[in-house]
Chains A and B, each alone.
Chain A
Amino acid sequence: MFDKYVRFIKNISINAYGKAGVILTTSSFLVFLVFELARMTGILTNAYIGLITYLLFPLMFVIGLILIPIGWYKRLKSTGKTTRQLLQQQFDDNELKESFFGSKLSLKIGLLTLVNILFLLFASTQMLSFMDEPYFCGTACHSVMNPEWVTYQQSPHARVKCVECHVGEGTDALIASKLNGMWQMISITFNLYERPIPTPVHQLRPARETCEKCHWPDKFYGDRLRKIVRYQHDEKNTPVYSTLLLKIDSGKKGEKAGIHWHVAAENEVRYVSVNDKREEMIWVEVRQADQTYKRYFNNTLLEAEKIETSDPRILDCMDCHNRATHIYQDPEKAIDERIQAGFISAGLPFIKREGLRAISINYNDQNTGLIGIATHINNFYRRNSPLISTSQMPEIDRAIYELQQIYQRNIHPHMNISWGSYASFIGHDHNSGCFRCHNNHMISNDGEYITYDCTTCHSILAMEEMQPLKYLEPVEEKTRGAEMHRYLQEEFKKYYRK
């Protein structure tokens, strides 16, 4: 049997092309089987192997299969013989003898083709399912995707596969994503991609199909209490607190409405933005009870800029939660979080100020950055408080480690990603987010503004105060803070009693 196969192989590999084809096909097939067996039995666990097993081997296999007929064709051309003559030259008459099911040779070829098809089917399903793994998305295009891979792994959606948001279900989505993937391969090969890569929110599937599989609007109700700690830049890293009661209800009739009013089933908000970047609004409109829309224009834009560059977009999750997964942090907030969690010791003098300085420096590459952070912090304590630099050495080392972690997550010099490269639209940092529409320059034809009253979206229980619940305490009359304190306390009570 084996001899027969070897003879067949020898006969079919008619020249250099044929030989190469046969070697490629056979070897990749055999090694694939070995690897797959090893994976099934748990010998191979490295996810990276998938790249070889499911992408490289099947590819080699197919190339080999293509080479064999090329060899035959070449031979035909060069000798001027007919196919029949060539077959007779290579194979026994016995093999070529016609019978009811065709010749022995054609039966053999048919059988092998069936095996090939089965193998390719198996390999390609394996390949597709491997390509659905976040590991593939995050590492196949190693340097380009690394920033997204790193931030994804540290995000709340780290257990949701990339493809669940980026590809979606159905053949159309699959084909679209593979075509897109081919373009990505070309742009990487020929270095055609932008640095940093523009956020692909436009290609994302509608939030109705993705986000709302888990987070459906009926779920947004009630309030959420959020305490934001900011450590000041003084020696003691004194914390100040801002405490917000976020009103996140989607608000049905007769109930209190909150931020998710925007996506409640009965409401619709649409907008057009400058260059379709969703950063600066041209106009925004909201559906009224009579199904007409009330439109608010951006009156800071010149007439020329008001030209609509895209179709109106119906506001959904992504317009505010644009960075629900690949979250790039604000440097100050990143440090605050780690001090609050106790990872960076608040007992280190000036650690907030110096930490921020260390990670804000513009380093040439990540490695220089990591070394630079350590040098900055170590030097600061050695120079200014040698006692602390020895007595609190473990705390300092830990702080350096944490700062390096922050840096590594957020800064990617090779992709031109630094602080603030990717804006987040949640909240209203840097006058963006909510304030894109809720401001004093989106104005309707009858002169009405979209409300930008702070307490529309949150009650405020402390705003940069030393106590987290300052405004719930009794008002200190005759002080500078009294009026704001009283106003915010009354507002909270009025809202909460509803």
Chain B
Amino acid sequence: MKSLVILILLTMISLSWAQNEMAGKCMTCHKLKSPGLYKQWYESQHGMHEVTCLDCHGASKSEADAFLHEGAYIATLVTPEDCGNCHEKEAREVQNSYHATAGEILDSQDAYLAHVTGGEPAAILGCESCHGAKVIIDDNSPNKLSKKSWPNSGIGRINPDGSKGSCNTCHTRHNFDKTQARQPEACGKCHLGPDHPQMEIYEESKHGNTYYTNIDKMNLHSDKWVVGEDYFVAPTCATCHMSATPSKKLSHDVGERLSWTLRPAISVHKDNWQQKRKNMLTVCQSCHGSAFAEGHYYQYDALVHLYNEKFAKPATDIMNLVIQEKLLENPASFGNKIEWTYWELWHHEGRRARHGASMMGPDYTWWHGIYEVVQHFYFKFIPEAQSFKNKKVDDYIKNLFEKDATHQWLSTNTEELKKGIRSGKLQQKYQELFIQDK
């Protein structure tokens, strides 16, 4: 028994030595062949702490993506499961986060749009570059990975080992710097553009403003990075959504502080949203008084309600009616103009307005947001719906414009409306949007 234990120990020691020796061999070649990669690693915390090539890329022969390379089994793909060998807590949080589900896009409306109306290359380089691909094994490929799914560093990548995501989406290889993940640019790779311009909104906001002004005071390289303690001039995306505060620990579950989901056509609160809002409020209060933080939520909630009640719900009802009444000419989804109008109303303009409000971007809330919702709702979507000349649809619209106080302006004269603004009567019509959700 004793000798068996010794034997096992000896084997382990010799194996670990052999692995180290192999890593030295990897570096010998790669220092020349891919010097940038080598130098990134050399400068990294991994480099400083003896985490070498095979600690991440070493594989056993049985793994689907393992291939023999210069005498060792290697896997190109490093998955959250591999990272989790050391970063156990982080990997677990990522697996449970909304980010990890991003690869499920393949079954969503967006993926349908790209695959059907665009084509596969656009889906691969567009959607899957951010959302993550389902990694395909190809035995003819030198690294066993199909070229259609490699390279891919999407945040919800579906890996052959069953894990989801890829850590280097934010912690760019091969230095895996936390400094970089703390900066807004890390998120800005995907969170930007007409459908969710978080990056642009951040740049517009006071938060982004002060960040770019005081970037040298952000203490970004510090090991410990607690807002209010290690830095205080401005928050980055990471600060509010992930990083540590004096009372909360860092979490890689990005949804932990979000009370609304602003993604769908009609916004709803997330499960357990009250707790999640409290989580966010503790972040706000690292720099703001409680009245300030709560006031922001009061205004922001009202805007989400406005969007939901005045535009999103009626538009969705009308769209459903059009489908129910079989008014669409072409059978395929997105084969008809009104579908695109409706889609952009919520997926583009509607989201811009909500995201703008949530992160204090005035221009995105109004000009890029509600303003465009208004214009396209009244003067594109409604006329397109009316063009079908269907009684049910027409009745719905007539009823909406006559009965709903927020839409009655269409049949009121300008002088009267102006008088209404001055007297506050017009604003009264929106009072119920400022209700506090419970």
Residues on A lying within 8 angstroms of B by beta carbon are: 440-441, 452-455, 460, 463-464, 478, 480, 482-488, 490
Q: Taking A453-B29, A453-B70 as contacts, is the C-beta distance between A440 and B142 under 8 angstroms? A: yes
Min C-beta distance of B405 to chain A, whole Å: 69
Contacts of A455 in B (CB 8 A): 25, 28
Question: Which residues of chain B in 1-35 are interfacial with respect to chain A, using CB atoms and an 8 Å cutoff?
Answer: 20-21, 23-25, 27-29, 31-32
Query: Do residues B42 and A454 form an inter-chain contact, with CB atoms below 8 A?
Result: no
Contacts of A441 in B (CB 8 A): 142
Contacts of B50 in A (CB 8 A): 478, 480, 482-483
Q: Taking A440-B142, A478-B50, A482-B50 as contacts, is the C-beta distance between A454 and B24 under 8 angstroms? A: no
Contacts of A488 in B (CB 8 A): 24, 28
11 A-B residue pairs with CB within 8 Å: A452-B70, A453-B29, A454-B32, A455-B28, A480-B42, A480-B48, A483-B27, A483-B50, A483-B52, A484-B31, A487-B25
Complex Cα spacing A454 to B23, Å: 14
A487: nearest chain-B partner, CB-CB: B24
Question: Which of A453, A454, A482 has the most C-beta atoms of chain B within 10 angstroms of its own C-beta?
Answer: A454
Complex Cα spacing A341 to B202, Å: 58
B38: nearest chain-A partner, CB-CB: A484
Query: Do residues A485 and B24 form an inter-chain contact, with CB atoms below 8 A?
Result: yes
Contacts of A480 in B (CB 8 A): 42, 47-48, 50
Query: Do residues A463 and B42 form an inter-chain contact, with CB atoms below 8 A?
Result: no
Which single member of A440, A460, A478, A482 contacts B28 (CB below 8 Å)? Answer: A460
Query: Do residues A453 and B25 form an inter-chain contact, with CB atoms below 8 A?
Result: yes
Complex Cα spacing A259 to B324, Å: 78
Contacts of B24 in A (CB 8 A): 483-488
Query: Do residues B21 and A487 form an inter-chain contact, with CB atoms below 8 A?
Result: yes
Query: Do residues A487 and B29 form an inter-chain contact, with CB atoms below 8 A?
Result: no
Contacts of B23 in A (CB 8 A): 483-484, 487
Residues on B lying within 8 angstroms of A by beta carbon are: 20-21, 23-25, 27-29, 31-32, 42, 47-48, 50, 52, 70, 142
Complex Cα spacing A480 to B42, Å: 7
Contacts of B29 in A (CB 8 A): 452-454
- Chain A to chain B: the 10 pairs with minimum beta-carbon distance, closest first: A487-B24, A484-B27, A483-B24, A480-B47, A484-B24, A483-B23, A454-B28, A454-B29, A483-B20, A487-B21
Complex Cα spacing A452 to B33, Å: 11
Min C-beta distance of A444 to chain B, whole Å: 14
Question: Which of A463, A464, A483 has the most C-beta atoms of chain B within 10 angstroms of its own C-beta?
Answer: A483
Complex Cα spacing A484 to B29, Å: 10
Query: Do residues B21 and A490 form an inter-chain contact, with CB atoms below 8 A?
Result: yes
A464: nearest chain-B partner, CB-CB: B31
Contacts of B31 in A (CB 8 A): 463-464, 484
Contacts of A484 in B (CB 8 A): 23-24, 27-28, 31
Complex Cα spacing A464 to B23, Å: 18
Min C-beta distance of A242 to chain B, whole Å: 10
Which single member of B28, B47, B48 contacts A463 (CB below 8 Å)? Answer: B28
B143: nearest chain-A partner, CB-CB: A440
Complex Cα spacing A488 to B142, Å: 27
Complex Cα spacing A482 to B20, Å: 10
B41: nearest chain-A partner, CB-CB: A480
B54: nearest chain-A partner, CB-CB: A483
Min C-beta distance of A304 to chain B, whole Å: 19
Beyond A440-B142, A463-B32, A480-B47, 4 extra complex contacts between A and B, CB < 8 Å: A483-B21, A486-B21, A487-B27, A490-B21
Complex Cα spacing A483 to B38, Å: 13
Complex Cα spacing A485 to B50, Å: 13
Complex Cα spacing A441 to B141, Å: 11
Complex Cα spacing A482 to B27, Å: 11
Complex Cα spacing A482 to B24, Å: 8
Complex Cα spacing A480 to B40, Å: 12
A482: nearest chain-B partner, CB-CB: B50
Complex Cα spacing A142 to B146, Å: 57
A439: nearest chain-B partner, CB-CB: B33
Contacts of B32 in A (CB 8 A): 454, 463
B27: nearest chain-A partner, CB-CB: A484
Min C-beta distance of B334 to chain A, whole Å: 37
Complex Cα spacing A486 to B32, Å: 18
Min C-beta distance of A167 to chain B, whole Å: 40
Q: Taking A440-B142, A453-B70, A480-B42 as contacts, is the C-beta distance between A487 and B47 under 8 angstroms? A: no
Complex Cα spacing A455 to B23, Å: 14
Complex Cα spacing A455 to B28, Å: 9
Question: Which of B20, B27, B42 has the most C-beta atoms of chain A within 10 angstroms of its own C-beta?
Answer: B27
Min C-beta distance of B19 to chain A, whole Å: 10
A486: nearest chain-B partner, CB-CB: B24
Complex Cα spacing A464 to B35, Å: 11
Complex Cα spacing A441 to B21, Å: 25
B42: nearest chain-A partner, CB-CB: A480
Complex Cα spacing A441 to B143, Å: 12
Complex Cα spacing A464 to B42, Å: 14
Min C-beta distance of B145 to chain A, whole Å: 15
A478: nearest chain-B partner, CB-CB: B50
Contacts of B42 in A (CB 8 A): 480
Min C-beta distance of B56 to chain A, whole Å: 14
Contacts of A482 in B (CB 8 A): 50
Query: Do residues B142 and A487 form an inter-chain contact, with CB atoms below 8 A?
Result: no
Contacts of B20 in A (CB 8 A): 483, 486
Complex Cα spacing A478 to B50, Å: 7
Question: Which of A440, A464, A484 has the most C-beta atoms of chain B within 10 angstroms of its own C-beta?
Answer: A484
Min C-beta distance of A158 to chain B, whole Å: 32
Contacts of A440 in B (CB 8 A): 142
Complex Cα spacing A463 to B42, Å: 14
A441: nearest chain-B partner, CB-CB: B142
Min C-beta distance of A135 to chain B, whole Å: 42
Contacts of A453 in B (CB 8 A): 25, 29, 70
Complex Cα spacing A482 to B21, Å: 10
Min C-beta distance of A90 to chain B, whole Å: 85
B23: nearest chain-A partner, CB-CB: A483
Contacts of B52 in A (CB 8 A): 483
Complex Cα spacing A480 to B24, Å: 11
Min C-beta distance of A442 to chain B, whole Å: 12
Min C-beta distance of A480 to chain B, whole Å: 4
Min C-beta distance of B28 to chain A, whole Å: 5
A435: nearest chain-B partner, CB-CB: B33
Complex Cα spacing A490 to B24, Å: 10
Complex Cα spacing A484 to B25, Å: 7
Complex Cα spacing A95 to B192, Å: 112
Complex Cα spacing A482 to B25, Å: 12
Complex Cα spacing A486 to B50, Å: 13
Complex Cα spacing A377 to B93, Å: 59
Complex Cα spacing A488 to B28, Å: 8
Complex Cα spacing A328 to B27, Å: 31
Complex Cα spacing A460 to B48, Å: 23
Query: Do residues A487 and B48 form an inter-chain contact, with CB atoms below 8 A?
Result: no
Min C-beta distance of B302 to chain A, whole Å: 55
Question: Which of A463, A464, A487 has the most C-beta atoms of chain B within 10 angstroms of its own C-beta?
Answer: A487
B46: nearest chain-A partner, CB-CB: A480
Min C-beta distance of A150 to chain B, whole Å: 32
Contacts of A483 in B (CB 8 A): 20-21, 23-24, 27, 50, 52
A460: nearest chain-B partner, CB-CB: B28
B70: nearest chain-A partner, CB-CB: A453
Min C-beta distance of B219 to chain A, whole Å: 25
Min C-beta distance of B60 to chain A, whole Å: 20
Min C-beta distance of A258 to chain B, whole Å: 18
Min C-beta distance of B72 to chain A, whole Å: 12
Complex Cα spacing A480 to B174, Å: 14
Contacts of B142 in A (CB 8 A): 440-441
Min C-beta distance of B138 to chain A, whole Å: 14
Complex Cα spacing A486 to B19, Å: 12
Min C-beta distance of A299 to chain B, whole Å: 8
B17: nearest chain-A partner, CB-CB: A486
Complex Cα spacing A122 to B24, Å: 69
